[in-house]
Chain A
Amino acid sequence: MQTGRIFSIEEFSTYDGPGIRMTVFLKGCPLRCSWCHNPEGQRGQIEIVRSPNDCLACGACLREGAKKTGAPCLVPESVAVCPRSLVRLCGEDVSVEQLVRIIEKNTAILNASGGGVTFSGGEPLLWADFLVDCFAALDGKTHRALQTCGYADADTFLRVLAHCDLVLFDLKQMDDEMHRRYTGVSNAPILENYRALAASDKPFLTRIPLIPTVNDTRENIEATARFMKECGADYVELLPYNTMAGGKYRMLGREYEPRFDGSILPDPHKEIWKNYGIEVTIL
């Protein structure tokens, strides 16, 4: 039986597809987007995280590390000793069967509102075999969506695509060099998969995290709209950059250092979308 590594399950996610949705977040991502608001989803391995809110700074968690390794640090044993339960393991391996059981507890509610389950991440396509098995096991039970950055080899993408009901596909940046600079990878496989998705009969939503000065430029919006139009897409959802994005880095003991000025309000360029006949929703 396949297993997948999950870092969170949200029971009431309001922006991951139609209706009330459960969103399953799979751990690990090939991209390192400068604006990432789910940094705990980036690394594939299980991590120990500590929420800074309400921390008493009692040191109990670090002492556990000192006992084990000789130096103060977080270790799995730290989880149990935090008096405020602020330390936890991020990442848990679950089997398809376990996950489906968790989802099935909520399908009645999800289905009543026209909702379902969305697999997100990290990048869920890193767990393609697991995903295919989950989707197959949920067939006929609830609506199944895949939220992806699109970075995967074409075979993998098409294989997973065949098993879900809806794809939420991110288009972050049309210029390949800019894409490499801000996400760490080329956009070539992404654009190729997007073309394949648009050519298929699978329902999909195009989404753009709108990052000030990075991809909200007139050139990039123009290029994105043109590309979408060529592929036959006529609807886009824009997610304006939120300054809360840095909120979780401290929990991982990391600093949030975006390489752009997050205080600028991103420009959705509504007029460009209109020129291309693409309907826009700003989330």
Chain B
Amino acid sequence: MTEHVKQFLALMKSRAYRDRRVDNVGYDVTELVNQTHCMLREATILEDTLTKETTNLPEGDIFGFNRTLIHLPYYTKENGKTACLLGQNVTPNYARVIGMGFDALLCEIDGYAEVCDDEEKRLFYEGMRRQVLATLRIADRYREAAEAEGNTRLAAALSRVPRLPAESFYEACVFFKFLIYTLRLARHGQMTLGRFDQYMYPYYERDLALGVSREELFETLELLFISLNLDADIYTGLQTGDNGQSMVLGGFDKNGKDQFNDLSRLCIDASLELTLIDPKINLRVSKKTPDWIYELGTKLTKQGLGFPQYCNDDVIVPYMISLGYDEEDACNYTVAACWEVISPNNGADVPNATTFSFPMAVHLALHSCLLSAKSFEELMAAVKEEIRKECERIRATVVHRPFPKASYLSLFVDGCLEKGRDCFCGGAKYHNLGSHGAGISTAADSLAAVKRMVFEEKRVSAEELLRALEANFEGYEALRGSLAACPKMGNNDDFVDTIAHELMTAFEDHLHGKPTLTDDGIWRAGTGSALEYIRTARKCPATPDGRYAYAPFACSFSPVIGARLNGPLSVLQSFTKHDLGRISNGGPLTMELHDTVFRNEEGEKKVAQLVKTFIHMGGHQLQLNAINRDRLLDAKAHPEEYPNLIVRVWGWSGYFSELDPVYQDHIISRTAYTV
């Protein structure tokens, strides 16, 4: 770590740069919006926001573009609802615009505007033009500030970018930071960083050829990574840290060539050295991935940041192709803020449009059919019927999102300018919707317990079981204990894994690839939960696996919390038995490994082998956490002593001390069963 990096890191951690922020709480633009044509609304708001922004260029910062307005603008719609954040979970085409510059982008907009004869499209182009000009003005102000403060390096870069194409790795990084900053100010939350190692590689390679040293480029990269953390606290999603700054490294092209390059390596090295929350690293791997990449990834896991998350190209690429994505786009996939797979540059999917709750389907079927069911098969049929009904309901939902008519984001999504349409309103190539499938382990375990206790061993009657569930097991403690001792998903036990397989198959049959109601898209089924493992679970009464009413499900695609597990080998086998080829919208198997496992290099190598095993067995996504329960308990009691303790929450990592207690408790309870 160079002196420059050390100092900038210290500045970031001191938070001193935040002094220049303005607490603009109540930034209401309703009046402005009401006076503006809906096609020009976004341009008008962005112009207003950028006028209110001031420059913030702390010492040692070679990128700038740090937000000073703490709050983003909002307005009240006619229906009385408040609108703030716009469409999210998109990976913009950074490469294209960094390679062409905003001047050329303006020419392109003007070219399309000249030949268009449609009034709405003309307004679309006018809005686009005004947004480009507004962001160029803030870039100019940053150039002036850099000159005034003697920051010659940044001033020189800003005399070219973002107007002209970047010519060096550094200029490309400045352009990149400018894009992230302006996209956030344009109220696009959770814009992901995409395949940074791929689209930045040409600049990196060119610099090397021109004699710039690898060390110098590494320093630039580290400074950029630090700079991505400066505003992370105000780039919040649902919890601090849930900000979408996910980066995808590696991956295989359509000829099966590994695209993990030297820049991918540097990104991991930077993350290892800095141990910061952003960017969150995702590693694309396949059967062809060499061991050393897994070993490098394991070193990162050991840092306790909760990443990398692994994505298996062998499963995900064919999955996307089967859903109608072009092969090239499928091979180019990235992940959204957490783990939902998306097509970068040209897609505007909403992969987390809705959540399907497996345990609710079981709950409903138990109440409609358990008393009359003559066999377990009859009960299973009722569960599948509930799954079908819920999928039908999902397919009939119109996904209401605050989709703008002409958003800044559309400048960077292929096809929008040609078509004169916003990316979320027909401009993008893909408009698919995804549904999480939450609580599969709770549902499968519940049915396994009913099968064994009610139908096979007849140790409890249907009536009594329903009474026990109704009473939330109060007065039925022994019964709950017996239910908890039934086979659990995660123990490589066909008795329950077969049930899970049937449930997932039913979910896929009724959702995978089905047309959506409002868009020209299709539905994608997944194994994720996002925050729904807590939110949806709060609506779900007690379940026959022994789970109390409203207690959380497992996070994404994982064994039930509290299930007594044989260990990681059984977990991997249980969770790869079902062919994941139709249920890969996103949602990783999550496993906690005690941090002592990583004690030395030998232990690290074995963890790497474990990850490799999962990929070779056909797992789709995996996320490992290195956890020390005592440290977490202490951190909960003394948050002031652990300001930098980072943990994985669902699809993202966050500072433990800043998490809502319910999430802290969930993470602690996960560790009680560290395998």
Contact = CB atoms under 8 A, between A and B. Distances in A.
Interface of A: 9-12, 14-15, 19-20, 22, 53-54, 60, 77, 79-85, 88, 105-106, 109-110, 112-113, 115, 281-283
Interface string B554-589: 000000001010111110110000000000000000
A110 B570 CA distance: 12
A283 B609 CA distance: 19
Contact of A81 (B478, B562, B597, B607): B478
B567 A11 contact: yes
A9 B492 CA distance: 14
B35 interface: no
8 contacts: A14-B602, A15-B602, A53-B672, A84-B562, A109-B569, A109-B613, A112-B616, A281-B600
A237 to B, nearest CB: 10
Given A19-B609, A20-B606, A11 B672 contact: no
Given A83-B473, A283-B599, A20 B609 contact: yes
B603 interface: yes
B555 to A, nearest CB: 18
Contacts of A79: 481, 485
Nearest to B484: A85
Interface string B477-502: 11011101100000010000000000
Given A20-B606, A283-B599, A81 B570 contact: no
B34 interface: no
Nearest to A79: B481
Nearest to B477: A81
A283 B568 contact: no
Given A11-B566, A14-B597, A113 B481 contact: no
Given A20-B606, A79-B481, A12 B568 contact: yes
Contact of B480 (A15, A20, A83, A283): A83
A112 B572 CA distance: 14
Contact of B569 (A11, A15, A53, A283): A11
Given A11-B567, A53-B672, A105-B492, A19 B481 contact: no
Interface residues of B, number: 34
Interface string B587-625: 000000100010110110011011001001000000000
Given A19-B606, A20-B610, A85-B481, A106 B672 contact: no
Contacts of A9: 566-567
Contact of A85 (B564, B572, B599, B613): B564
A12 B573 contact: no
A69 to B, nearest CB: 17
Nearest to B548: A83
Contacts, number: 85
Contact of B477 (A54, A83, A106): A83
B217 interface: no
A110 B473 CA distance: 40
Interface of B: 473, 477-478, 480-482, 484-485, 492, 546, 562, 564, 566-570, 572-573, 593, 597, 599-600, 602-603, 606-607, 609-610, 613, 616, 669, 672, 675
Contact of A80 (B481, B566, B567): B481
A85 B546 CA distance: 10
Contacts of B573: 105-106, 109
Contacts of A53: 672
Contacts of A81: 477-478, 481
A53 B610 CA distance: 28
Contacts of B607: 14
Contact of B562 (A20, A22, A85, A113): A85
B475 to A, nearest CB: 11
B482 A12 contact: no
A83 B492 CA distance: 25
Contact of A112 (B485, B603, B613): B613
Contact of A20 (B478, B569, B593): B569
Contacts of B477: 60, 80-83
Contacts of B600: 281-283
Given A9-B566, A22-B567, 17 more contacts: A10-B567, A11-B569, A12-B567, A12-B568, A12-B569, A12-B606, A14-B603, A14-B606, A14-B607, A20-B606, A54-B672, A82-B481, A85-B485, A85-B546, A110-B569, A113-B613, A115-B606
A62 to B, nearest CB: 13
A241 to B, nearest CB: 14
A109 B567 CA distance: 13
B667 to A, nearest CB: 14
Contacts of A283: 599-600
B236 to A, nearest CB: 30
Contacts of B616: 112
A48 to B, nearest CB: 13
A34 B482 CA distance: 37
Contacts of B480: 83
Given A54-B669, A81-B481, A12 B675 contact: yes
A113 B568 contact: no
B522 to A, nearest CB: 36
The listed residue with most A CB atoms (<10 A of its CB), out of B477, B603, B669, is B477
A208 B149 CA distance: 61
B527 to A, nearest CB: 22
A94 to B, nearest CB: 13
Given A105-B573, A109-B613, A15 B473 contact: no
A110 B484 CA distance: 29
B570 A105 contact: yes
A88 B562 CA distance: 13
The listed residue with most A CB atoms (<10 A of its CB), out of B564, B567, B613, is B567
Contacts of A54: 669, 672
B24 to A, nearest CB: 44
The 6 closest A-B pairs by CB, nearest first: A11-B567, A80-B481, A113-B609, A11-B569, A14-B603, A12-B568
